[in-house]
A = this chain, B = another copy of it.
């Protein structure tokens, strides 16, 4: 890759996409060099396609000049490398202009969308055109891409929380510029094209999740129909060692198939990080929080040591029976509480007219979680990334700024566990000392994202303006991942700048992945270094 190659490719891209849709000015390149991770990379240019044909043309030019591409959706992959490429000199493809909602089928409850569609856009679209359909949202905020999250195997909170399982079909541009369609959608007139995800013959869909085998330009996404009745449930416990018991109490209900939503369990620190600034004074500028201060903050902010939430949906009499069954199932660990539209509205009305600060606090705390489970993401969750900033930016509390703009540091460590109490306890007990030793607290969530698995997300939040803290964050991340691998807790997702933690040269799995990559993209034009080890590693 030479400067001449870059210049040649950029000139050609300008010709095929139009001048306005290729950026290489300082400001834009700077924007795509930023990340909440400690390490960043610098692209050679930014490309803004408007159509699948544009993407095909981009790939052909990249091939000709041998310039590596890095497709992102909307660049909001917070905590996993954001919009940054794995290395310098990549041409980043941004899909913000490819944000069409191409098809809506209300009867079979799906949409066909492009990677530029944001959570907020889809939410508003459904409100306007299909009030009988909901969507499954993540806490990544209104601006995050729906497709991007699904391809990274993100998860949300409803019955459709495992996003890759909601993909009905995909359109993908390959390294040679051809388009392949997955499932049954490659049969032009297939009536089940959008709804039967397996297709006939081998299923190629999995190849395009967490990979670099192609550039996804269109996805069919199943939507959960709006249920007759929706009931949010939550439970808090005061015992900091109680996570194991919660998981053990919940697993049989998830595996019994009647608690169908993802169930989310966050610790005190995870909640506090979205609610209050870091109490720098109280810790004498030296994190982590000592246990007594942490307990005092819990009491003050009315959060539990562990905070569990989920939802029950279905016909009204069924939800009533589910509520009783859940109350019974969780009796041993705590008292589960339920909220619905009516009770939440009542609470909000009361707080407007009466001075009940405890109620107001509770309502304000719960509202975003409640909405999230109904498919409405909020930017409030992203606000947690500001926790450790020494100088917090002024902003409307409901609309926090882009974490990158205000110097937030964020690394997510996210192992996948079997859904057992023992596994959850082991992770907390092993990770807390490591985080603390590096000067970090351990904000953590466990999500029963499937019937048998827990996905754990631990946040390393830091202030990027401080070099030493940033270095500590990286050291903490590296040590945490090392220890997790040694314990057999493999991450479910990795950061663009540290994929190599996943690879082992002797593992046939990666060699097979690489052979497939090379069969479909022999020049390794598409996102070299993303999830699949590059040829140079051999």
In the complex, the answer to whether A202 meets B196 with C-beta atoms within 8 Å is: no
Report if A252 contacts B (CB, 8 A). yes
Which of the 9-residue segments A7-15, A391-399, A510-518 touches chain B? A510-518
Tally of chain A residues near chain B (CB < 8 A): 93
Report if A198 contacts B (CB, 8 A). yes
Report if A186 contacts B (CB, 8 A). yes
In the complex, the answer to whether A210 meets B202 with C-beta atoms within 8 Å is: yes
Q: Which residue of B lies closest to A317 (CB)?
A: B321
A window 245-269: CB within 8 A of B: 252, 255-258, 260
In the complex, the answer to whether B419 meets A108 with C-beta atoms within 8 Å is: yes
Q: Chain B residues with Cβ under 8 A from A153's Cβ? A: 198
Report if A355 contacts B (CB, 8 A). no
Q: Chain B residues with Cβ under 8 A from A174's Cβ? A: 508, 512
Report if A181 contacts B (CB, 8 A). yes
In the complex, the answer to whether B508 meets A512 with C-beta atoms within 8 Å is: no
Q: Which residue of B lies closest to A253 (CB)?
A: B315
A320 to B314, CA, bound (A): 14
Q: With both chains docked as a complex, state the minimum distance between the C-beta of A207 and any C-beta of chain B, in angstroms.
A: 5
Report if A318 contacts B (CB, 8 A). yes
Report if A401 contacts B (CB, 8 A). no
Give a binary string over A201-243; 1 marks a CB under 8 Å from any B CB, 0 the rest.
1111111111101000000001011011000000000000000
Contact flag A531-B201 (CB < 8 Å), given A108-B418, A257-B313, A318-B318: yes
In the complex, the answer to whether A184 meets B317 with C-beta atoms within 8 Å is: no
In the complex, the answer to whether B487 meets A191 with C-beta atoms within 8 Å is: yes
Q: Chain B residues with Cβ under 8 A from A198's Cβ? A: 153, 164, 206, 209, 492
Q: Chain B residues with Cβ under 8 A from A518's Cβ? A: 519
Report if A502 contacts B (CB, 8 A). yes
In the complex, the answer to whether A488 meets B531 with C-beta atoms within 8 Å is: no
Q: Chain B residues with Cβ under 8 A from A164's Cβ? A: 198, 203
A435 to B222, CA, bound (A): 35
From B205, B222, B452, B490, A109 is in contact (CB under 8 Å) with B452
Q: Which residue of B lies closest to A322 (CB)?
A: B318
Pick from A153, A198, A325, A510 the residue with the most CB of B within 10 Å. A198
A206 to B170, CA, bound (A): 14
From B224, B257, B507, A314 is in contact (CB under 8 Å) with B257
Q: Chain B residues with Cβ under 8 A from A307's Cβ? A: none
Give a binary string over A313-338; 1 marks a CB under 8 Å from any B CB, 0 the rest.
11101101110110000000000000
Contact flag A202-B195 (CB < 8 Å), given A159-B257, A509-B180: no
In the complex, the answer to whether B109 meets A201 with C-beta atoms within 8 Å is: no
In the complex, the answer to whether A256 meets B314 with C-beta atoms within 8 Å is: yes
Q: Which residue of B lies closest to A314 (CB)?
A: B258
From B324, B325, B507, B516, A516 is in contact (CB under 8 Å) with B516
A279 to B322, CA, bound (A): 50
A260 to B428, CA, bound (A): 35
Q: Chain B residues with Cβ under 8 A from A110's Cβ? A: 452
A491 to B197, CA, bound (A): 13
In the complex, the answer to whether B257 meets A452 with C-beta atoms within 8 Å is: no
Q: With both chains docked as a complex, state the minimum distance between the C-beta of A275 and any C-beta of chain B, in angstroms.
A: 31
A243 to B86, CA, bound (A): 54
Report if A366 contacts B (CB, 8 A). no
A205 to B512, CA, bound (A): 12
Give a binary string over A173-206; 1 marks a CB under 8 Å from any B CB, 0 the rest.
0100011111010110111101110101111111
Q: With both chains docked as a complex, state the minimum distance between the C-beta of A189 and any C-beta of chain B, in angstroms.
A: 4
Report if A107 contacts B (CB, 8 A). yes
From B109, B318, B491, A200 is in contact (CB under 8 Å) with B491
Question: Can you list 30 A-B pairs, Cβ within 8 angstroms, ordered by A?
Answer: A108-B419, A110-B452, A164-B203, A181-B508, A184-B416, A184-B490, A186-B509, A187-B488, A189-B487, A190-B488, A191-B418, A191-B423, A191-B487, A191-B489, A192-B489, A195-B452, A196-B453, A200-B416, A201-B531, A202-B206, A202-B208, A202-B513, A203-B206, A204-B513, A225-B252, A258-B314, A321-B321, A512-B520, A515-B520, A516-B516
Residues of A participating in the B interface, judged by any CB pair closer than 8 Å? 107-110, 153, 159, 164-165, 168, 174, 178-182, 184, 186-187, 189-192, 194-196, 198, 200-211, 213, 222, 224-225, 227-228, 252, 255-258, 260, 313-315, 317-318, 320-322, 324-325, 416-420, 423, 450-453, 485, 487-494, 502, 507-510, 512-513, 515-516, 518-520, 531-532
- Give 17 A-B pairs besides A153-B198, A201-B510, A204-B206 with Cβ atoms closer than 8 angstroms: A168-B452, A178-B508, A190-B489, A191-B489, A194-B418, A195-B419, A198-B492, A201-B509, A202-B206, A205-B206, A206-B206, A207-B207, A225-B256, A257-B313, A315-B321, A317-B324, A515-B519
